[in-house]
Amino acid sequence: MSRNRDNSDIPETCPLINDVWVFIDRNTHDETKESDKQKALDLLEKIREHNEKLRKWGNIHFNRAECAEKELEDANKEIDFLKDQIKELESEDRS
């Protein structure tokens, strides 16, 4: 999974999932049903897929929030500029 501009503070989980894969593989014995082992591994893959979707969703909303903050900053600058213009016009009228 690519971590392009990942803004989360959550560590990458794919290596952790890989570690669990290895653990399951090394610690399942002959008496463990192969179907049970496969169910566990399939579940790990679902977790990996859902985590990737969640991470992408979080990054999309983080980027949207950054854009909204920038727009707000620009709007506040414009408001300040217009307030200054109003003050200048008011002082010209008084003169």
3-state secondary structure of 50: helix
- 0.75 surpassed by pTM: no
Supply the pLDDT for residue 1. 44
Supply the pLDDT for residue 63. 94
H or E segment and range at residue 92: helix 34-94
pLDDT by 10s per residue, the chain, length 95: 445 566 766 667 777 788 887 888 777 776 667 777 788 888 888 888 888 888 899 999 999 999 999 999 999 999 999 999 999 999 988 87
The 3-state secondary structure of 75-90, one letter per residue? HHHHHHHHHHHHHHHH
